[in-house]
Amino acid sequence: MAISFDLTGKTAIVTGANTGLGQAISVALAQAGAKVALVGRSSMAETEAAIKATGGESLAISADLSTLEPIERIFDETTSWSGGADILVNNAGIIRRADALDFTEADWDAVMDVNLKNVFFLSQAFGRRLVAADKGGKIVNIASLLSFQGGIRIPSYTASKSGLAGLTRLLACEWAGKGINVNAIAPGYFSTNNTEALRDDPDRNAAILARIPAGHWGKPEELGGAAVFLASSASDYVHGTVLPVDGGWLAR
């Protein structure tokens, strides 16, 4: 059997696709041949333009994933546009920072709702559609180094990303036999808007770089290959893995 990373004829849904890692993943999937439904709260114009520049096709879907309300609409709009979906990338996530002694219930719930609860119910809705159509598909969750480590001052983020690693394994156990691959990527330290403050702090920047064997912050496009692999037939026998893409951080 020939190994193929080609996604021609496939449709992907990517949440949090407006910027950063979600944008890079969306562009990489489009470059591999997929049509991409872009889901987010803010404008996806920049991502749409980047995909168009590669000759790809995209659809922007405005949705606030702090609630479950948009889930059915996301799949309905995607189906109306392309006939269905084959790939779901659960990338959308938020973070709240405070000492554990001071952390509020509101900040706990906000993060868990987006990072874990919504991921499960998006995946459930996707899985139900695939099973009903008697076809396989790919789910790629975006986990974190905090799926493996504790971190500091981000209790709900660490809990959500650790939970996401477990959820990835559970869904893989239940759905692998149905032809649905469920895996995750754990990004390391990447140059995005979310890490700008860390990169601008000379001490924190130096400390982080000192631990990365690759010697540099990740570029968002360096995450694309892992996403294409897990979305393609090349990963058909890969189930329940959490793949670090971290420049060697966890190996240190």
The residues annotated with a catalytic role in the active site are: 157
DSSP 195-210: GHHHHHSHHHHHHHHH
Q: In this structure, are residues 223 and 192 in contact, taking their beta carbons and an 8 Å threshold? A: no
Helix (H) or strand (E) holding 242: strand 242-245
Q: What is the 3-state secondary structure (H, E, C) of 109-151?
A: HHHHHHHHHHHHHHHHHHHHHHHHCCCCEEEEEECCHHHCCCC
> Cα–Cα distance between 155 and 131 in angstroms, integer?
35
